[in-house]
Amino acid sequence: MTKIIFLDAVGTLFGVRGSVGEIYQQFASKWGVNVSPVTLNQAFFESFKAAPPMAFPGAESAKIPNLEFEWWCQVAAETYKKVGVLEQFSDFKNFFDELYDYFATAAPWFVYSDVKPALTKWHESGIKLAVLSNFDSRIHQVLPALKLADFFDNVTISTEVGAAKPDQKIFTAALQKCNCTIEEVVHIGDSFTADYEGAINIGIKAFWLNRNNVSQPEVNQFATLLDYFNCYFL
């Protein structure tokens, strides 16, 4: 019997309103920097994928928030550099400080419509829920802002563990935090490599939530999982 479900955060529970490129463009325009949001969005994902894992092994906990900020600042700087406008910012660190804080609020995010009904059902069924994410410490602000925090018993993130999915260390850390065994857990996430393969490789049952599958509207995906859990786990 499944006793706990690990859930990824961004792309699984909630997503970005519009696109990252649109938000980056809106903030840049306030500083007099004009650039295409489509071009920015492509540059962001190229920079994001090229960046090292957001994990800081051995770092003191007090230093982690600053390390997270610097990690994201470098991704953003590479993004604007790729589109040739980085040098147009009069003070990039101050600019990025505003952008970074914005993503700690509810404003840039939306909760997928299939999420709360599924979380409610699982919660009422006695299944414990936990977040397992490569997001940063801002997750502790975003979850309450999106009215999701009360569903979860705990949160495990890569920067606090010092290892990012698909590394087995972060899954092990989540298991220890929840005081459960591999056999008692299911992991759900939108990344085939980080979530599905990461969980399977350590022996955890996993479901790939493919939000990009246009043939399967997002409103039905957690409903499908609910049916599966009702038949085979609950």
- The CATH number covering residue 78 comes to 1.10.150.720
Please tell me the distance from the alpha carbon of residue 114 to that of residue 143, in angstroms, as a whole number.
Answer: 16
Residue 219 above 80 pLDDT? no
Containing structural domain, residue 182: 4-15+109-232
Domain closes at, from 102, 127, 153: 102
CA triple 13-17-18, angle to 5 deg: 135
Last residue of a domain, one of 75, 102, 129: 102
More confident residue, 64 or 212: 64
From residue 196, give the alpha-carbon distance in Å to each of 75, 80, 117, 208. 25, 32, 22, 6
pLDDT in tens, 65-92: 999 999 999 999 999 999 999 999 999 9
Are 114 and 224 part of one and the same domain?
A: yes
Instruction: State how many domains the chain has.
Output: 2
- CATH for 217: 3.40.50.1000
What per-residue confidence (pLDDT) applies to 231? Answer: 40
**Phi and psi at residue 5, to the nearest 5°:** -115, 125
- What is the mean pLDDT of the segment spanning 186-197? 96
pLDDT of residue 210 exceeding 60: yes
Do 40 and 150 belong together in one domain? no
Task: Taking residues 190-213, report their average pLDDT.
Answer: 93
Residue where a domain stops, chosen among 102, 135, 156: 102
Q: Which residue has the higher pLDDT, 228 or 89?
A: 89
Q: What number is the average pLDDT over the span 41-47?
A: 98
62 and 157 housed in the same domain: no
- Are 157 and 116 in a shared domain? yes
Share of the chain above pLDDT 90, in %: 87
Residue 142 and residue 96 share a domain? no
| All residues at 6 or more sequence positions from 1 whose CB lies less than 8 Å from its CB, including other chains | 184, 233
1: confidence class by pLDDT, cuts 50, 70, 90 = confident
- Residue 55 CA to residue 184 CA, distance in Å, equals 27
pLDDT digits 0-9 by tens, 109-133: 999 999 999 999 998 999 999 999 9
